[in-house]
Amino acid sequence: METKKTAKSSVSKTATKKAGKVPAKKNAAKQLKDLFEDSLKDIYWAEKALVKALPKMHKNATDAKLKAGIEKHFNETKVHVKRLEECFAAMGKKAQAKKCDAMQGLLDEGKSIMEETEAGAVRDAGIIAAAQKVEHYEIATYGTLAAYAKVLKEKDCLKNLLATLAEEKKCDELLTKVADTAINSKAK
């Protein structure tokens, strides 16, 4: 009979063998600073894409509190873009966007939700769900970037990243409140 340790290691070996080791690209990050800069490019693209997507969500929302929250976050998102540009400048880099596949997927899902729901409370509930997925992605990203900035002693970036992180968290809380106090009950 195999011990738990032996069973565990054979599962790991099998899983590793099937999954395969991923070779690094030629221009792969070699240091944390490289990963930090690459991740900034990703979230910069994501924030710019949100500036385009949020007005569509606003136009399709019907609840007044939801519309107000989307509008407020649209204005914050424009500031997030500027803060990221300040991060690049503080590091002596030109602001560059690199397509963020994760955000593209979340935006595609949001569009799909709007297409698959009738205007009203059900669509509003779907918009909130899609928006919260975006917020959770951003919260994870800004939290990680802030941790990197702290280690890299990028004080100006850290300040900007933490300010944006706080706003993303507040937006998520607002979306939860709007869903819990009105939308979800109307949508049932």
Kindly list the domain boundaries of the chain, sorted by start residue.
31-187
The reported pLDDT for the residue numbered 3 is 52
Tens digits of residue pLDDT in 3-34 = 555 555 555 565 556 678 888 888 878 899 99
Q: What is the mean pLDDT of the chain?
A: 91
pLDDT reported for residue 187: 82
pLDDT at 26: 81
Percent of the chain with pLDDT over 70: 90
Query: In the structure, what pLDDT confidence band is assigned to residue 118 with cuts at 50, 70 and 90?
Result: very high
pLDDT the model gives residue 5: 54
Phi, psi of 153 (to 5 degrees): 60, 40
Q: What is the pLDDT of residue 123?
A: 95
| pLDDT higher than 90, residue 129 | yes
The whole-number pLDDT of residue 30 equals: 84
Q: Which CATH class is domain 31-187?
A: mainly alpha
pLDDT in tens, 143-179: 999 999 999 999 999 999 999 999 999 999 999 999 9
